[in-house]
Amino acid sequence: MNSTEKPIDYLISRSGIVGRQILRLARWLLLTNGAPERQPHGLTGFWQQQIRHNRMRIIRALSGFMIVFYTYYIGGSLTRTDQQTFAKLNGMDGNAYRLTLYNAFFCGIPSAMVYFLLGEGFSLLKGIHSLAELPSLIAQRTSLAMGLLSLAVDIFRMIDSAWHRRCWAPLGVFPLIINLPTYLKLIWTRIASPAIRSARPNDRNNG
């Protein structure tokens, strides 16, 4: 059975504790946005509908921005398998690579530019005082190195996702925080699986 045939609850359960909450929230957002509204009737219902319409125009603009942010920044920061599950939850099954592509282009590359700007800022601090020269130099080189590494990774993610339609998790502190439980769970599963398989014959023999 491939991943597209497995139930959503199983796909979500494979993730770590942080990834599971992100995927569950994505499923909730999908169900909430897809729920039909009850239409009011009569004159009172007409005015209620007009008030609701004007209020919803603002809410939809804000919620639309938040959904796009959540989809491509949060969703595009997950591991490959979690991105595939996230895409399935959001009606993008078969186009999960777009999470990586848009995340790299709109989030990752601008983040790399920020590292370069920080490096330039630290370079200006070197001339303020002699005591600030060495720390500023270290911070400048570190920021520029992180910017170059982040830029290289995101250019690769962007090109590879568009060319081969594959998902990739980005490089950064936030992706590491949300994906670390998933990585640890995956490592533990791979370590525990051989032990479980080797124990099964003994269990049958003992039975």
Inside any domain, residue 86: yes
Burial class (CB in 10 A: 0-12, 13-18, 19+), 34: exposed
- Report whether 151 contacts 112 (CB < 8 A): yes
Q: Read off the pLDDT of residues 19-69 as tens digits, 9 standing for 90 and up.
A: 999 998 888 876 666 544 444 444 455 455 666 666 767 777 777 788 889
In a domain, 105, yes or no: yes
- Of 83, 84, 99, which is closest to residue 178 (Cα–Cα)? 83
List pLDDT tens digits, range 74-111. 999 999 999 999 999 888 888 999 999 999 999 999 99
**Domain assignment of residue 44, yes or no:** no
Asked whether residue 12 is assigned to any structural domain, the reply reads: yes
> Could you tell me if residue 43 is inside a domain?
no
18 within domain boundaries: yes
pLDDT digits (tens, 9 = 90+) for 159-193: 999 999 999 999 988 999 999 999 999 999 888 87
Task: Say what the pTM is.
Answer: 0.76
CA distance 1 to 3: 7
Structure tokens belonging to residue 138: 């270290």
In the chain, how many domains are there?
1
The amino acid present at 107, given as its one-letter code, is C
pLDDT at 4 over 80: no
DSSP 77: G
The first and second tokens of residue 65, run together, are 């921005």
Range of the domain at 70: 8-30+52-178
Is 15 inside any structural domain? yes
Task: Judge whether 70 lies within some domain.
Answer: yes
Residue 19, Cβ density class (10 Å: 0-12 exposed, 13-18 middle, ≥19 buried): buried
